[in-house]
Each structure stands twice: as structure tokens, then as C-alpha cells.
Amino acid sequence: MKLAPYRIYLGNNYKERFVALKADAVFEGGGVKGIGLVGAVSEIENAGYTFENLAGTSAGAIVSSLLAVDYKAAEIKNELERLNYNDFKDEGLLEKLGFFGKSLSLGFEYGIYEGEFFESWLEGLLVAKGKTTFGQIKTKYKEDKYKYRFQAIAADIIDRRLLVLPNDLKLFGIKPDDFSISRAVRMSMSIPFFFEPVELRDTSGRKHLIVDGGLLSNYPIWLLDDGTDDPPWPTFGFKLIEPDERKLKEAKRNPINNPISFLKAIVGTMLDAHDSYHISKSKGDYERTIGIPTVVTINGSDKEIGTTDFGITQEESRALYDNGVKVARKFLQKWDFDRWKKKYRKE
């Protein structure tokens, strides 16, 4: 295990020692912007940290699930660079009928795209590491919130309820240990109207439709906190936001030409704008959040990458990755866990 320098806070002085560092990590959703999260992870890994418990929503669930089965940032980067995000837009028979078919698909299946390509792609990556079910990433901890190394956030739109998977699968009479990790992530990234929701039935036979967790909690930084005044290691948050100030973004026009583009505009606005102001300063969430800008500079021009920009180019993807690297490097220069605990936990 790689050892890293760790500064121990003693009054007004610091003492440096070399230790193996642990951290929990929570990842925000962001669709195609997820490679920015991977860039930040690469710097945290380089600093000597290993991830103990992981959680995420949507794209954040993809990254955290792969880390949970022992992928490293460099490996995830390679897989994402080979990926054509347009392949995620897998069409069934109805969708292949053009605009009319897509409209029917929305009416009967509640989504334009099947989501099967994504689930198959992720399952293949999990198979390569030999860990495909939650039982294979079980931890030594007894508490429910730490029972599995990875947790995904999803939303049950029938009961209007937040789901933390796999533990909440018990509500449907499903044993978490046996459940597919890729299926849980498929639920978490089911952007409404774009992807068909995942259907589950509860023990009474009632149908539930499960969609993108970003509807209810796109950045569940609260999930892994142990509730004590002296947590043994930090929880880092990886969030796709403006890095220096939490402020409203300038308006970005959504061209609306038909009902499909109208729904796309609604969903894109909803997910991109979700909980921009909900980072708690009083609990120290702001200081433990690595804010990754989603604006990239290509040929001298700035462009903001949106959640549903499936046509993202390789150059834009690499620029997002570099954004993550840069801000994580700055974050680590200022981060001091003992000082953070003294300020926000030991009062």
C-alpha cells in the first residue's frame, strides 16, 4: 500500500508522518460529465489515499461502482475514452420509427432509450474484476450504511421516495447480496424521459418505477457520515460545479423544436441545476468538496458540457478530466483533516 505524508495538527504546530490514508467518497451525478470525477480521483489516489466506502448518483454511481470493484482511475479513464456515449442511446423497435416512434415509446415505456447497452457495458467491466453482485463487495462493518462498499442513489417515482441501494431493495423482497451491481447503477442513471425506468414490484405485487437518483439527491454527501465527533477518516465529495463560488450560471438557451426537445430541455435544466446551493458550510461540506468545473476551453472558446451532451468529443472529455486533476491538486494543498474535525466536529 502506498504511504503518503500526513500532517498531524498539534495546537499551532504540525508534525508530518507517513501513513496509509483512507477516505470515504461520495460522487455527484452528471451524465457525460462523469470523466471529470475520474480526473479528480486520479489525484486523490496519487496522494496515497485508498477508498473505504463509496456512494454516488447517476454518473457518480458509475465511477464509484468501478472503484468499489478495484478499478483505478487510470483504468476507468481508459474505458471512458474508448466509449462512444451515443451508444447509450439504444433504440427499441418503437424508437426506430423516428419521431412518431419515440413519442409512442414515451407514452408506453416512459423513456426513449432502452438502457440495455449501458447495463451490458458496465456488467462487462465488473465481470473483468470478478465482482458483479453486492454480496461480492460486502465489508466487515455491521452498520447498514457501511455493509457494502458501494451504494447507489435512485428514486422511486411511484412512492416519491429516495432509495439507497442495495439496502432498500429489502422493500421489494429482494436480497441485497444477490442483486446485480450493474442493475442498481442502471437504476441510478435512468435519466427521466431519456431512459426507460427500471420496474420493480414490491411484496404485494404493486409496480414501482425507478429512475435517476438525481431527482431527489444528486449529491448525497451526508450518506457516509458516521455521526461521531471524531470520524477515523474523511469523506471527500466530488461535485461537478463551479470550483470557487456557488453561483447561478449564466442562462444557456435550449432549442425547442418539438415535444422531444422540450422534454430534453426540462430534464437537462433540472439535473444541471439540482441542489447547486445545498452544500452545508456549517457542517464543513463546502471544505470537503472537490468542485470540478464543467466549462472546458476548446480552441480558445469556452463551452459548458451538459448532462445529456451525448455527442461530447474526445477533446472535450479530456479537458473535463484535466479540470478534475487541477482542482483536486489544489484541494489537497489546503486539506487538513485534523483542522477540519477541530472546526466542524469537535465543538
8-state DSSP, 230: S
- Predicted structure pTM score: 0.83
pLDDT at 249 over 60: no
Beta bridge pairs of residue 254: none
Q: Please state, in angstroms and as integers, the Cα–Cα distance from residue 312 to each residue in 68, 204, 292, 298, 317, following that order.
A: 26, 43, 17, 12, 7
Task: Return the SS3 of 228.
Answer: coil
Q: Average pLDDT of the chain?
A: 82
- Which of 119, 112, 102, 13 shows the shortest CA–CA distance to 65? 119
Looking at per-residue pLDDT, the higher value among 176 and 88 belongs to: 176
pLDDT at 88 over 60: yes
- For residues 225 and 284, is the Cβ–Cβ distance under 8 A? no
113-168 confidence digits (pLDDT tens): 888 999 999 999 999 999 999 999 999 998 989 999 999 999 998 898 999 999 99
Distance (Å, whole) CA 53 – CA 129: 18
55-70 confidence digits (pLDDT tens): 999 999 999 999 999 9
**Residues noted as catalytic:** 58, 212
Q: Can you tell me the mean pLDDT for 8-17?
A: 46
289-335 confidence digits (pLDDT tens): 999 999 999 989 999 888 778 888 999 999 999 999 999 999 999 99
- For residues 38 and 44, is the Cβ–Cβ distance under 8 A? no
Beta bridge pairs of residue 6: 17
pLDDT at 347 over 90: no
